Structure 1
Amino acid sequence: MKPNILVIAGHDPSGGAGIHADIEAIQALGGFASTLITGLTVQNSQNVRGFRLTEIDLLQQQADALLDDMDYQAIKIGMTGSIAIVDFITQLLKRLPNVPVILDPVLAAEAGGSLAQESLAEVMLDTLAPLCDVMTPNLPEAQALSGQQSVSGCGQVLVQRSGCATLITGTHDDTDQVVNHLFTPSGEEQWHWDRLPHRYHGSGCTLASSIACLRGHGQSLHSAVANGQAHVDKFLRNAFQPGQGQYVPNRQP
């Protein structure tokens, strides 16, 4: 059976990131995605121009309808956008105990532009992250969440504060290879990937959704994190440029 993956994230009208990326990645890895869309954005492959968040009452009605009908094998959280939506998701997760949760703590778009209201990082870290299995920030997001600058400092603070395993991706580092760091209470592990030639729109969404889908298939956290990165590397190697901005991962089965 296809695992049901509940995706809670924002909509990107350009199709490169957000809900589009989540659905495509999950489908490519043999899962089925249901979605709660937290907000509509105004963006393209070059930048974010604005966003409008979904009303909590509508999200609640949608969530009730889905949970009345389906069981879920994993949950992926992307753009939350506001403290009120973080509170809503926190309460929703309490209705789905023992379901693996992957948090991509989206604060800004890769192409530029904020996707969050002020003070969201603190609330996300203190209330939402402790309910998750792993979060997947890039380095700027990890720095904003932790108040630290180094990769190791960020990882140690985030794990200690939230209890959540943390995969910090290295696409923003100035290194020859992309180095992704997984921090857990038991230590640190690294993966090294070729640094590809372009900038990519939706790579973070793709990674978190890939990990969620693999967890939904029953893979361990470590296996899902490792295999999810490998799938994203393949998607990025086949990326294409639909507009005048960043390249989009080619998330095909």
Structure 2
Amino acid sequence: MILKTLDNAIQVLNCFTKEKKAWGVRELARKLETSHTAINRILVTFEKNNFLTQDPETKKYHLGLKFVEFSEIVRGQFSITEAIEPIMQEISRKTRESIFLTWKENDVGVTLGMAESEERIKFSVSIGTRTPLYVGASCKVMMAYLSREEQLSIIDKGLRKFTENTPQNKEQLLKELDEIKEQGWSFTDGEYSDQVFGLGVPIFDTNGRIIASITIAGPEYRITEEKKIEMLELLLVEIKSIQQVFYNYI
């Protein structure tokens, strides 16, 4: 019942577009083929929480100021991406591999920025790609800094298998997360995509909470133990500048 109500509420918000910026209760009820009583209840709740505002004359509802706050948050995230792009490009130039900025959003990592390798064979994902926190260097390095309770909550929802190397054992995964947190970085090989390595380091907010990661990724045939050490040393140096950018924006 709760999920159904939440779904109806989301459908209501999705009706507010550039083409249709205001809605009355009954016309919205007709649009969604739902009782006007239910729609009115949803609209009133949104209004109380500043997600919607009602015109006193027309009685129609418009999007409220709460979305201005949200837009500032999202705009800030993308401003961060633009600010650290030169650093990411420099890391990519020196390593000749792709560099990714991954943002933590609840129990997934979202790709927000990328400096793509100039090599003919390279690893690449689309901006906006969402990946579970338990798989791949960029996500596991963030999951490692969550509380044990949060880690178990994510694991108990199930571990989807992306490749033969995707973590499937609960105890082994928890052990790996402890090791990642202790050393301050994560290296994975073929967990999210076959024959692709990842080397990730964490990014924190001013309160020390994990919020993002920077990762070097590429085809595994190009990675050697020596190159891995060189890339890690570079990443640990550059992450200091990247972290400072985050402090300035958050």
Coarse TM-score class (shorter-chain normalised):
0.3 to 0.5
Higher-helix-fraction structure: 2
Higher relative contact order (CA 8 A, sep 6+): 1
> Is the radius of gyration larger for structure 1 or structure 2?
2
Taking structure 2 as the reference length, what is the TM-score of the superposition? 0.32
